[in-house]
Amino acid sequence: MEPKLLKVEPLPDFSLKLYYETGEVKQFDVKPYANGSWFGQLANSYYFYRVRLTDDRDGVEWPDGQDLAPHELYELGVAVDSG
């Protein structure tokens, strides 16, 4: 089970900076997902920046319901400095 998220920060390069309760900080590239009729909205920077934590703080979602699986965020995210 992945740790809970404390914060999600959208970045200009269409990636997410994810802050976990463990103190880990990871960066997740959303670009490969931002296509097709459902996830294509994520390619719009205004919409992309509307990302938020899910209510249970284990994943992220956007206003129209697009979400990314918690295990993908955690396992495929790249560890970065918290600064």
CATH of the domain at 31: 3.30.2020.10
Report the number of distinct structural domains present in the chain: 1
Q: Which residues contact 62 (CB under 8 A, 6 or more apart)?
A: 41, 42, 47, 48, 50, 51, 52
The per-residue pLDDT for 58 is 87
Alpha-carbon gap, residue 46 to 68, rounded angstroms:
18
Nearest to 14 by CA among 29, 32, 33: 29
Domain span at residue 39?
A: 5-79
The per-residue pLDDT for 16 is 98
29-55, pLDDT tens digit by residue?
999 999 999 999 999 999 999 999 999
By CB atoms closer than 10 A (0-12, 13-18, 19+), residue 41 is: middle
